Structure 1
Amino acid sequence: MLNRFAPLVPLALVTLLFGCATTGPVSQQQVQQQPVTAQVLTKSSVQATFEEELNTEAELQDFASSKPYQLPALADNILERGMSLIGTRYRFGGTSENTGFDCSGFIGYLFREEAGLNLPRSTREMINVKAPLVARNNLKPGDLLFFSTNGRGRVSHAGIYLGDDQFIHSSSRRSGGVRIDKLGDRYWSKTFIEAKRALAMAPAATTLSRN
């Protein structure tokens, strides 16, 4: 699947990118002007973080060991449908291919239509779904990616990982709506927050894992 998608990736990124909050990239000058707040890590907070990471890894391991592991098939369906929608216009609050999509509307549409999974409507709610967290070096096609594109450290944009360091998303009106970008690009790498394997919650995944 990944080899099929790779030739469609743009070789250059549009310089002005917008998230679902329709806010552009933060300039270097703005970044430099923001005060740096030191974080004091107590022994208890470090221990809590370590335990959370262990629990997340254990959860992923348990899910991945189920027989048969069918998430790649679900991801294929979602991503193939998403690829067919490249170029669909961006529309704030949009949830259909006829009217256009915003970022969370695009994700919600694909997961509902292709995996039978109803995700929360907004990125702020979507990032809090009870799905396994995924480390950036362990991403698989179909994983949800969350970004802070407004410079405030809060989630404001989301996309779906394709593989090979690429993701598909409804970016903005100015950048052409549904498109593919590289996670390793400086802008997206800097604004990336976390990833979640929402497909683990899909009814189809649960049914297939029992067969």
Structure 2
Amino acid sequence: MNPPSVARSAASPTRIARFALLAVVLALLTACASAPRRNASALATESALANEPARAPDGQAAAVNDVLFRAMALVGTPYHWGGNTPAGGFDCSGLVGYIYRNATGMQLPRTSGEMADMGEKIRGMTALVSGDLVFFGNHGRISHVGVYVGKGRFVHAPNSGGTVRLDDIDGPYWRDHFEYGRRVLD
């Protein structure tokens, strides 16, 4: 015979573990953001977004935590055009699709252009929250996507011969090519 069940407290072990993991990820982002930044030129200044608080969409802290954990874990994975797995490498949209599929179960479209039509459009960098998709291009033509992690940083698979990396969204190149963000977690 089994002992009578004990009423579960409001903070289950799974919930506590998720919040602890979110705290660790945010601490890592804070550590990354507080490290000295390399300037592209002597005239460049520190990112204005580095001091922004890390935020998640309302009610989505656990999902954002999973997305950020997956994204950060893939930094250093080789770039491979058309790639969408850690073993085979990633292109930009393959990386974003893999992160969301494995962290949230969401099936995103395969290309950055198709992803750019999903979710709420976020026009300004200062309005981005962790987990938002960020799109880059030229004159409205989308050519690149990444995942915003917070504090002015995003994870992406930038180019052939490179690896998945964390960059400043308002760095010289990315600032000039930023089109908008999309909030797919709501």
| TM > 0.5 fold call | yes
Q: Which residue of 1 aligns with 2:102?
A: 113
Identity of aligned residues (%): 35
Indicate the structure whose relative CO is greater, using CA pairs within 8 Å and at least 6 residues apart. 1
Looking at structure 2, the residues matched to 79 and 13 of structure 1 have their Cα atoms a distance apart, in angstroms, of 25
Task: Check if 1:178 corresponds to 2:164.
Answer: yes
Cα shift at 1:158: 0.5
Q: Is residue 13–residue 181 contact of structure 1 (8 Å, CA) maintained in 2?
A: no
Q: Which residue of 1 aligns with 2:182?
A: 196
Unaligned runs of 5+ in 1: 16-63, 201-211
> Which one-letter code corresponds to 2:150 in the other structure?
G
Cα shift at 1:152: 5.7
Equivalent of 2:69, from 75, 80, 85?
Answer: 80
Residue aligned with 1:193, SS: strand
Looking at structure 1, the residues matched to 148 and 64 of structure 2 have their Cα atoms a distance apart, in angstroms, of 9
Task: Check if 1:3 corresponds to 2:27.
Answer: yes
Q: Is residue 166–residue 180 contact of structure 1 (8 Å, CA) maintained in 2?
A: yes
> Which one-letter code corresponds to 1:75 in the other structure?
V
Higher-helix-fraction structure: 1
Residue aligned with 2:141, SS: coil
> Which one-letter code corresponds to 2:158 in the other structure?
S
Cα RMSD, aligned residues only: 2.2
Matches within 5 A, 1:1-150: 1-8=25-32, 11-12=37-38, 69-129=58-118, 131-136=119-124, 137-148=126-137
Q: Normalised by the size of structure 1, how large is the TM-score?
A: 0.62
CA displacement 1:107-165 (0-9 Å, x = unmatched): 00010111110000001111012x111242211100000001xx464100001111111
Looking at structure 2, the residues matched to 5 and 91 of structure 1 have their Cα atoms a distance apart, in angstroms, of 26
Cα shift at 1:70: 2.6
Q: Normalised by the size of structure 2, how large is the TM-score?
A: 0.70
Residue aligned with 2:79, SS: coil
Cα shift at 1:185: 0.6
1:6 and 1:103, CA in 2 relative to 1: closer, same or farther beyond 3 A? Answer: farther
Cα shift at 1:6: 4.1
1:6 and 1:169, CA in 2 relative to 1: closer, same or farther beyond 3 A? Answer: farther
Hey, which bits of structure 1, 4+ residues long, moved more than 4 A? none
Higher-strand-fraction structure: 2
